Amino acid sequence: MKLEDLKIIITGGAQGMGRHFALRLAEAGAQVAVGDVNEVGLAETLEASKSATKGKVHARRLNVADEADVASFVAWAHGAMGGLNGLVNNAGILRDGLLVKKDRETGAVKVLSKEQWDAVIGVNLTGATLITRDVVAKMVETNQRPGVIVNISSIARHGNRGQSNYTAAKAALAANTVTWSKEFASFGVRVGAVAPGMIETPMTQGMNQKARDGLVAAIPVGRIGLPEDIWLGVKFVLECDYFNGRCIDVDGGLSM
């Protein structure tokens, strides 16, 4: 699809990669609806988009883990943009922790809480599934084709210490990229995924510094990734009509 023909939703659009994707798409002439629970960040994304002369960014609060909120957002986005033919599932959170941990000094055993598990699965997997379902349903109802979905997975889907919840969500999202590509084929909707490695975003900036430094040092290209690096992968999935049901790793060669 041509970027200027897109009327596309981006979740997690208040900062980081989501904001970068939204601004790039608006610059190319697309209509973009961004959603996030961070309303201050959404306003900043909207302000930053005002220099885009071709496309337009629309913004509204969205909690992807809330089914009713998702349904309302999709209906609003469709109306605001005058149609809907794309989605980037970018919203994500971290609640890292070892599944079981023993304190070296006290011997106390700690476990990953159900709250930590539920929070990450709720946003990163359930939320992505709910909005994919409702976006594709809207495309089918309005006879919109072609359509395209881009899932933001992660190289952590292969397994990463201290990220049982995040790994499970991102692995499932990559697997469902294949599932959904098959289910939505008859509707003219493609589904692809991009799996970032270590990327400079507010989320990774909040990591434990020692762990962050160790990961960056292990990247073969010698630097942390930037949102623009991931945008190039997303752009490829959006534009290449022969790409479907696959996941692209954009990680600088990092292995976890």
- Beta strand pairing call for 100-102 and 109-111: antiparallel
Q: Are 57 and 34 in contact (CB under 8 A)?
A: yes
- Which of the following is catalytic: 166, 180, 184, 231? 166
Q: How distant is the alpha carbon of residue 206 from its chain centre?
A: 18
- Whole-angstrom Cα distance, residue 253 to residue 249? 9
Among 168, 157, 155, smallest CA distance to 197 is for 155
What residues have CB less than 8 Å from 58, skipping those under 6 apart?
31, 32, 33, 34, 77, 80, 81
| Phi, psi at 59, each rounded to 5° | -135, 140
Residue type, 203: M
- Cβ atoms within 10 Å, residue 254: 18
Beta bridge partners of 86: 8, 148
Indicate if 242 belongs to the active site: no
Residues serving a catalytic function are 166
